[in-house]
Amino acid sequence: MDFSAALPIFAITLREGVEAALVVGIVMAYLKKANRSSLNPWVFGGIGTGVLASFVVGILLNWFLKQVEGTDPAQAAFYGQLWQGLLGITAIAMLSWMLVWMTENAKALKGEIEGKIGKAIANEQTAGWAVFTLILIAVLREGFEVVIFISAKLQGGFVPIVGAIAGLVVAVAIGIALFQFGIRINLKVFFQAMGVFLLLIVAGLVISAIGHLDKAVAAYAELSQISICFPAASTTEMSSCLLGGLVWDVHDILPDKQFPGILLKAMFGFRDRLFLGQAIGYFTFLASAGFLYFQSITGNPIKNTIKN
């Protein structure tokens, strides 16, 4: 079994999981400080419900995609490629926003959460549900981003499950190390390093999403029997519909279906055959998202939000 596809999912789940673990840890530390540890079961209930809801969303989303693929073959080709492309764009937008937002707001994260939880537990009658809701939203937000990413990658079998579970386990371990055992971890370095890594992963998803949309256009042209795609220069030349010609073709040197090409493809979207439109999209995303990310780092640096 090829586990290379599990690595980007592991990285995404780890980063999202650590972010959720920070929220959970800050809430539990505040409850302990306020002598309200009796509300901890509501915290665990929010965690469990958030994970379960994310899992259900993933099942429903993939069931929907299977239903689309089960239609007429010609329509399945169009709708399947279209949905994969749209899911890819959704994942790109969500993960990019999360990356920049977390970097800009990490400095005030602890104070913001403590302010919310302080107001929540002020009312004895609704304190439990307020804590539950806060944790549920935090876990569900991160879980939904992971689900969208996995669905956009459309990996089959147990590979994405293994990657997601491994990332979640490590994230939980980091949370326990921070809050239960007081182990010091430089969160600034962690989030910045994971941020760069995440930028490269999402940039690879840009290549994939553009490719799916191009294939959807080609399938639509075939369905409608209209000519909207550029013809190939020859019968042997690989062509796209709207992406232009090949920028490179290293299939014979570094095929993306064999190691190490398959690992580079799973992690960073490497293609042994890359079209001009994909190359433009890749570097445009890296330039724009990278600029915003590094601006957020230099303008509002992440500081360790955990204080004893």
Instruction: Round to whole Å and give the CA distance between 220 and 134.
Output: 44
Give pLDDT tens digits for 261-304: 777 887 777 888 889 999 999 999 999 988 888 887 776 444 44
- Split at pLDDT 50, 70, 90, the class of 231 is low
Instruction: Round to whole Å and give the CA distance between 251 and 163.
Output: 27
Give pLDDT tens digits for 99-156: 877 776 666 667 778 888 888 788 778 888 989 998 998 888 888 888 888 777 655 5
Instruction: Round to whole Å and give the CA distance between 234 and 189.
Output: 51
For residue 282, what pLDDT is reported?
A: 92
Determine the average pLDDT of the residues in 157-171: 80
For residue 301, what pLDDT is reported?
A: 44
C-alpha radius of gyration, the chain, whole number: 22
For residue 235, what pLDDT is reported?
A: 45
For residue 302, what pLDDT is reported?
A: 43
Q: Where is average pLDDT lowest: 13-17, 53-57, 265-269, 274-278?
A: 265-269
Give pLDDT tens digits for 241-253: 888 888 888 888 8
Bridge partners, residue 274, by sequence: 248
Instruction: Round to whole Å and give the CA distance between 308 and 306.
Output: 7
Identify which has the larger pLDDT, 163 or 279: 279
Residue spans of the domains in the chain: they are 6-299
For residue 284, what pLDDT is reported?
A: 94
Number of CB atoms found within 10 A of residue 44's CB: 13
Identify which has the larger pLDDT, 164 or 1: 164
Of the chain, the percentage scoring pLDDT greater than 70 comes to 85
Determine the average pLDDT of the residues in 199-206: 88
Non-local (6+) Cβ contacts of 299 within 8 A are 104
For residue 307, what pLDDT is reported?
A: 44
